[in-house]
Amino acid sequence: MALIELRGVTREYHMGDVEVRALRGVTLDIEAGEFVAIMGTSGSGKSTLMNTLGCLDRPTAGAYRLDGRETSTLDRDELAAIRNRTLGFVFQNFNLLARTSALENVELPLLYAGVPAAERHARAATALERVGLGKRLDHTPSQLSGGQQQRVAIARALVGEPRLILADEPTGNLDSATSIEVMALLQALGRSGITVVLVTHEHDIAEYAARNITMKDGLVISDVRREPLGAELPA
């Protein structure tokens, strides 16, 4: 059984009078531990697919089983619980809470999981050390560089020990050197057994993934497995 099973997933929504068919029947399996890049031009449906995978959105039709569980029938609270326990998000614009320390940003998922304060601090600190920010626990986002902010975001995504990390254009706001650092981090997570799905429109970023899925007009048009490029962490 695959971690992610999509069966004929469609997603339609209305923008004014226009009906947009963002997904037109996507069938896809992603195994646990895979490192997948989803490619496509804007409007190809890759963001909608990502939102669907992230349980932020529900398919109009079709089935989405995550870790064996059908998600299309879950209510908002149950979806929140899945996002909290099974998923971790990394966004293009980092989406850290402003004027809030790195440590507290990372603690956020644990807060909603009901983890006691002491354990929360300890786990968040460990997660920040894992992304190389063990010395910047008290820094607020405005005191951190873009790459550091994204690493805080990655720490926040992994602190809850999720099965799946979803990264939406994680390097979109970063220069190429920092992008490689971030990709190295994601690859390291992949090696530790976490499934990583990232959305990007940059081919050189997609090369770090072992599987490239290309979308166009709401459909998967290519799905190739390949030997990934190894991202080197700067010494």
- CA-nearest of 87, 92, 122 to 106 is 122
**Shortest Cβ distance from residue 91 to other proteins (Å)?**
7
Cα–Cα distances in angstroms (integers) from residue 169 to residues 28, 195, 206, in the given order? 20, 16, 10
**Shortest Cβ distance from residue 77 to other proteins (Å)?**
5
What is the b/e burial string over 153-184, where b = at least 16 CB atoms within 10 angstroms of the residue's CB? Answer: bbbbbbbbebbbbbbbbbbbbbeeebbbbbbb
Output 105 or 212, the one with its CB closest to other proteins.
Answer: 105
Output 59 or 228, the one with its CB closest to other proteins.
Answer: 59
Distance (Å, rounded) from C-alpha 97 to C-alpha 223? 36
**Shortest Cβ distance from residue 76 to other proteins (Å)?**
6
The H or E element spanning position 56 is none
DSSP state of 32: T
Output 117 or 221, the one with its CB closest to other proteins.
Answer: 117
First-to-final CA distance of the chain: 39
Output 84 or 212, the one with its CB closest to other proteins.
Answer: 84
SS3 category, 98: coil
**Shortest Cβ distance from residue 200 to other proteins (Å)?**
18
The token pair that represents 200 in the structure block: 């990007």
**Shortest Cβ distance from residue 180 to other proteins (Å)?**
26
Residue in the structure block whose two tokens are 């090369």: 207
Output 157 or 183, the one with its CB closest to other proteins.
Answer: 157
Mode of pairing for the β-strands spanning 4-15 and 61-66: antiparallel
Output 123 or 211, the one with its CB closest to other proteins.
Answer: 123
* Binding residues for other proteins (CB under 8 A): 51, 54, 56-57, 76-77, 80-81, 83-85, 89, 91, 95-99, 108-109, 111-114, 117, 156, 160
Output 47 or 148, the one with its CB closest to other proteins.
Answer: 47
Distance (Å, rounded) from C-alpha 67 to C-alpha 70? 9
**Shortest Cβ distance from residue 118 to other proteins (Å)?**
13
**Shortest Cβ distance from residue 196 to other proteins (Å)?**
17
